[in-house]
Chains A and B, each alone.
Chain A
Amino acid sequence: MAVKITDFNTGVQPTWCPGCGAYAVKNVLPQALAELNLPPHKIVITYDIGCNGNGADKINTYAVKSLHGRSMLPAIGAKYANHDLKVISTIGDGAMMWEGAEHWITSAQRNEDITVILYNNEIYGLTTGQTSGATPCGVKTVSYPYGTVDQPMNPVLVSIASGATFVARAFVGKPQHMKEIFKQAIQHKGFAIVDVIMQCVTWTKIDMLSYYKDTVYGLEQDESDKPKSGFSKTKYDCTDKALALKTALQKDKIPIGVIYKEEAPTITDKYSPLKKGALVNQKPEGKIEDLLKEFC
């Protein structure tokens, strides 16, 4: 039986501010999962703390709402327990780039077999608008009322540099494109990350949605998202790492699409017990006697 979008309904009403970018992810992710025909019980989604975490009970799948900055850890664990499941870790920019930056970088380095969806609105929302690791320098926030003093982190650049094997950017203003990116990321074997750029309508003083609409361009044209002016006409080679790093550094125009992709071994190739199938379905065998000999 084909999976329907409604299978992902929990019936819990969202609590985000009207116009929040998080709604788009909440609506588009089930579309992507349904189109991939992935039933809710074959999926684990982990959530972080903050506005992202407030979405934890809005999509009906197995889920873990983790601690701040730690969304990726139970996701990695879920994959080890049962690598037949699709595991998605969602997280905000404050959590991923500051509180839990170590987990982001090492997960990329180790090519953990999870899909990370970064809710990137460049600010701490739930704690009322402080500077995050992604807030541009000079932007006035409640924690830096005279202007943010630090340079922002570039999640795409750092992900590629850290060893992520699928790095993409999507924009909530282009939901069809975002859905296709989600599908590719979820199907990718290895550490996939999608930097979802979105607006915060409450704490950001500028109209981010309009700004992004004017600034983004697609790396690849596709049927569902007709190119406007400024879209690339040439074919972009997302397997070229040097090109990907250069693309990640672009500032005047913001590229969306798959920026970098490579094939690399994942946990099932690395850990011999996982070759026999999902760990949770295995019955560990062997007598303890055999191991005692060395001490006798």
Chain B
Amino acid sequence: MKHHIAIKVAGPAGSGIKSIGLMLQKSFQRLGLFTFGYTEYPSLIRGGHNTFQVDVSVKPVNSSTQKIDILLALNPESISLHADELNKNGVIIADKSIVPADTSLLKKQNIHLIDLNIKEILEKNEIPLIMQNSLQLGVIMAICNLGLDSLYEAIDWTFEKKGDDVKNNNKKSASIGYTLVEGTSKDIDFSIIPPKTKKDTMVITANEANGLGFIAGKGQFYSAYPMTPSTNILHYLALHGPERGIVVRQASNEIEAIGVAMGASNGGVRAMVGTSGGGMDLMTEFISMLGIAEIPLVIINAQRSGPATGLPTWQEQSDLNMAKYAGHGEYPRIVCAPGDPYEAYVMTQECLNLADVYQIPVIMLTDKHVAESFYTTPKFPHPIPINRGKLIINEEDIKEKPFLRYSLDTPDGISPRTVPGLKGGIFLASSDEHSQEGYSTEDGNVRIDQQSKRLKKNEAIIKAINNFEYYGEKDADVLIISWGSTKGAIIDSITELNEDKSSKKFGFLQIKYLFPLNYEKLSKLASKYKKVILVENNSTGQLLPDLRLAGINPDSMALRFDGKPFFKDELVDEIRNFKLTKGN
């Protein structure tokens, strides 16, 4: 009996790895099991090696493990690359044609082999070879002892638009695979029993959640230039935006994306841009302009490995410094990072509100891991209330005559803004320092007044946002501090450790809103723990300066920057033993 099984599908790019992985997740989800789908792929369309790992569990699972139980290999390379990752008594499922002639090494490692003559079987049953994946999925369902119903549902879901022939043949293929393996070997048993009560869940990535959050937040203008791993926000909104009244515009570069979005936002519609680090580099001059012209905008940076092109399709969280400091000059902004798709959905809406209320750029950092991994999350809640702040969209609401867009008569530093088209609300939104009307000035006193007005917003912002979330044991010995997508592996790790009586007790402080940061509160939160570990998916630990400003000196750091996320089994080992990670 298993509580957790890790299944890796591996093969050449272009062979439908992702589709197999998603069908697996759907099959398990329908049974009430929890899954986590993690994909690795090189920056190639064809010819590279792709994997999709599905971790399935009877309890919520938010990360992958390094070690796997089942390897579905679609080419010989997949066996040689991943056989070492298999746990004892693990199994390789593969077509006979790709299995190495000498399997003694596998046997020595206690690895079982299910090698099938798939081509022959399918030919005999008059099923096109293209449907071999369903046969293999049938095999997996059999060794997990889960029946075929949920796989059939997943087939219907996957081939919704393909017609009954395709669905039926795939089901037939699946049932052949199931029957071939069912009960044939007592050694191969990955039986897993789904929980009795089924929760309302979704399987989704943060990219899609960002898109849904934008729709829920009544966003109306999205522009982006394609860049991995942010591109699926563009794809999602391009597909679903028009029916929701959203203009989705592919820009010719990131400068255009943000410049046009700024114009639309200044025109009164909620706007957002999405990119990765390299694209945000290009956007920085306009982030600075948003600062002085006090124009709201949400900027999503789905981080990937840098510097420059780095490892373009791999994980890293190294743009925190950039998000906090990009763009010349001094002006208020907010930087946040959701830890999973559920938070990405809610926080996208929060970001739209914060941008509108404070008339500032709000930067959301996601990363390859959260943006492209398939999480099982509770069903998304209803949209949060919209708050557009001091936006005036009706002429009768303009009280001042003449209207002063950058009025100093404001205790919180936020002046009412109108939108073009309103009589009596004319203003100039300027990249220059400006008077209350927006007119250019080089008068030092006016400059001081306007700069002070803008910076005043920081006081209100720090009160309005909740920087932290706490998870784990109340009276923990060790506090882990982190931000962003590391949340999944950390939660899974400390859950396991806290259940282990021999282990120290762990707590986790997630910094969701990273800037501006309430140092006093951070200091208070962290001070009662004996040990503090900083966990980040980068090589330097970009939270360190903040922690030190709060008087916290981490006892240890777990840093990972090989392009991969933290895996649960590995992180458990590291934090249990306070081991410093590779590279340090």
Contact of A73 with B263 at beta-carbon distance under 8 Å, contacts A40-B426, A273-B246 already known: yes
- Residue in chain B with minimal CB distance to A285: B245
Residues of B within 8 A of A82 (CB): 267-268, 419-421
- Whole-angstrom distance from the CB of A40 to the nearest CB of chain B? 6
- Judging by beta carbons under 8 Å apart, are B256 and A106 in contact? yes
Residues of A within 8 A of B249 (CB): 80, 271
- Judging by beta carbons under 8 Å apart, are B261 and A284 in contact? no
Residues of B within 8 A of A283 (CB): 218
CB of A66 closer than 8 Å to a CB of B? yes
Residues of A within 8 A of B462 (CB): none
- Residue in chain A with minimal CB distance to B208: A295
In B248-263, the 8 Å CB interface with A consists of 249, 252-253, 255-256, 259-263
Residues of B within 8 A of A292 (CB): 202, 212, 379-380
Residues of B within 8 A of A288 (CB): 212, 215-216, 380, 382-383
CB of A274 closer than 8 Å to a CB of B? yes
- Residue in chain B with minimal CB distance to A272: B242
Residues of A within 8 A of B426 (CB): 40-41, 60-62
Contact of A77 with B247 at beta-carbon distance under 8 Å, contacts A64-B429, A70-B255, A295-B202 already known: no
CB of B265 closer than 8 Å to a CB of A? yes
Residues of A within 8 A of B218 (CB): 283-284
- Residue in chain A with minimal CB distance to B219: A284
- Judging by beta carbons under 8 Å apart, are B263 and A77 in contact? yes
Residues of A within 8 A of B212 (CB): 288, 291-292
CB of A233 closer than 8 Å to a CB of B? no
Residues of A within 8 A of B529 (CB): none
Residues of B within 8 A of A276 (CB): 245
B259 CB contact (under 8 Å) in A57, A63, A77, A279:
A77
CB of B203 closer than 8 Å to a CB of A? yes
Band of interface residues on B: 35 or more
In B423-476, the 8 Å CB interface with A consists of 423-432, 437-440
- Judging by beta carbons under 8 Å apart, are A273 and B245 in contact? yes
Residues of A within 8 A of B267 (CB): 44, 77-78, 80-82, 279-280
Q: Mark B61-92, 1 if CB is under 8 A from A, else 0.
A: 00000000000000000000000000000000
Residues of B within 8 A of A12 (CB): 439
CB of B221 closer than 8 Å to a CB of A? yes
- Judging by beta carbons under 8 Å apart, are A273 and B242 in contact? yes
Residues of A within 8 A of B268 (CB): 81-82, 280
Residues of B within 8 A of A272 (CB): 242
- Whole-angstrom distance from the CB of A116 to the nearest CB of chain B? 14
Q: Mark B258-276, 1 if CB is under 8 A from A, else 0.
A: 0111111111110100000
- Judging by beta carbons under 8 Å apart, are B423 and A41 in contact? yes
A67 to B431, CA, bound (A): 6
Residues of B within 8 A of A84 (CB): 421
- Whole-angstrom distance from the CB of A291 to the nearest CB of chain B? 6
Residues of A within 8 A of B264 (CB): 77-78, 80-81, 279
A278 to B267, CA, bound (A): 10
Residues of B within 8 A of A27 (CB): none
- Judging by beta carbons under 8 Å apart, are B419 and A76 in contact? no
CB of A54 closer than 8 Å to a CB of B? yes
A77 CB contact (under 8 Å) in B243, B262, B285, B293:
B262
- Judging by beta carbons under 8 Å apart, are A56 and B428 in contact? yes
- Judging by beta carbons under 8 Å apart, are B215 and A81 in contact? no
A275 to B482, CA, bound (A): 46
In B198-249, the 8 Å CB interface with A consists of 200-204, 208, 212, 215-216, 218-221, 240-247, 249
Residues of A within 8 A of B256 (CB): 73, 102-103, 106
- Whole-angstrom distance from the CB of B182 to the nearest CB of chain A? 29
Residues of A within 8 A of B525 (CB): none
Contact of A279 with B432 at beta-carbon distance under 8 Å, contacts A67-B289, A70-B255, A292-B202 already known: no
Residues of A within 8 A of B379 (CB): 292, 296
B286 CB contact (under 8 Å) in A62, A67, A102, A286:
A67
Total residues of chain A contacting the partner, CB 8 A: 55
Contact of A106 with B252 at beta-carbon distance under 8 Å, contacts A41-B425, A67-B285, A295-B203 already known: yes
- Whole-angstrom distance from the CB of A77 to the nearest CB of chain B? 2
Residues of B within 8 A of A56 (CB): 428, 430, 432, 439-440
Residues of A within 8 A of B121 (CB): none
- Judging by beta carbons under 8 Å apart, are B200 and A296 in contact? yes
CB of B422 closer than 8 Å to a CB of A? yes
Residues of A within 8 A of B422 (CB): 41
Residues of A within 8 A of B246 (CB): 273, 284
CB of A152 closer than 8 Å to a CB of B? no
A106 to B225, CA, bound (A): 14
Q: Mark A232-274, 1 if CB is under 8 A from B, else 0.
A: 0000000000000000000000000000000000000001111
Residues of A within 8 A of B266 (CB): 64, 74, 77-78, 81
- Residue in chain A with minimal CB distance to B437: A57
CB of A85 closer than 8 Å to a CB of B? yes
- Judging by beta carbons under 8 Å apart, are A279 and B216 in contact? no
- Residue in chain B with minimal CB distance to A80: B264
A65 CB contact (under 8 Å) in B247, B261, B424, B440:
B440
A285 to B423, CA, bound (A): 27
CB of A282 closer than 8 Å to a CB of B? yes
- Judging by beta carbons under 8 Å apart, are B263 and A76 in contact? yes
Residues of A within 8 A of B243 (CB): 286
Residues of A within 8 A of B289 (CB): 66-67
CB of A168 closer than 8 Å to a CB of B? no
Contact of A291 with B240 at beta-carbon distance under 8 Å, contacts A41-B423, A280-B267, A296-B202 already known: yes
CB of B408 closer than 8 Å to a CB of A? no
CB of B393 closer than 8 Å to a CB of A? yes
Q: Mark B363-401, 1 if CB is under 8 A from A, else 0.
A: 000000000000000011011000000000100000000
- Whole-angstrom distance from the CB of B425 to the nearest CB of chain A? 7
- Residue in chain B with minimal CB distance to A276: B245
- Judging by beta carbons under 8 Å apart, are A102 and B252 in contact? yes
In A11-64, the 8 Å CB interface with B consists of 12, 39-42, 44, 46, 49, 53-54, 56-57, 60-64
- Judging by beta carbons under 8 Å apart, are A62 and B420 in contact? yes
CB of A154 closer than 8 Å to a CB of B? no
Residues of B within 8 A of A79 (CB): 263
A85 to B420, CA, bound (A): 8
Residues of A within 8 A of B255 (CB): 70, 73, 102-103
A278 to B262, CA, bound (A): 17
A271 to B256, CA, bound (A): 18
- Judging by beta carbons under 8 Å apart, are A74 and B259 in contact? yes
CB of A75 closer than 8 Å to a CB of B? yes
Q: Mark A113-139, 1 if CB is under 8 A from B, else 0.
A: 000000000000000000000000000
Residues of B within 8 A of A39 (CB): 423
CB of A187 closer than 8 Å to a CB of B? no
- Judging by beta carbons under 8 Å apart, are B420 and A44 in contact? yes
A113 to B403, CA, bound (A): 28
A291 to B345, CA, bound (A): 13
A149 to B537, CA, bound (A): 49
- Whole-angstrom distance from the CB of B403 to the nearest CB of chain A? 10
A234 to B448, CA, bound (A): 61
- Residue in chain B with minimal CB distance to A44: B420
- Residue in chain B with minimal CB distance to A109: B252
- Judging by beta carbons under 8 Å apart, are A80 and B204 in contact? no
- Whole-angstrom distance from the CB of B256 to the nearest CB of chain A? 6
Contact of A77 with B261 at beta-carbon distance under 8 Å, contacts A65-B431, A284-B220 already known: yes
If A57-B428, A64-B263, A271-B242 are given as contacts, then 15 extra A-B residue pairs at C-beta distance below 8 Å, sorted by A number, are: A12-B439, A41-B422, A44-B420, A62-B420, A64-B429, A67-B259, A70-B259, A70-B285, A74-B266, A80-B247, A102-B255, A276-B245, A279-B264, A284-B215, A286-B244
13 pairs of residues in contact across A and B, judged by CB atoms under 8 Å = A56-B428, A64-B263, A74-B260, A77-B271, A80-B260, A82-B421, A102-B252, A102-B253, A102-B255, A271-B247, A274-B247, A279-B247, A295-B208
The 9 A-B pairs of least Cβ separation, nearest first, read A77-B263, A81-B267, A73-B259, A74-B263, A62-B420, A77-B264, A57-B439, A295-B202, A65-B430
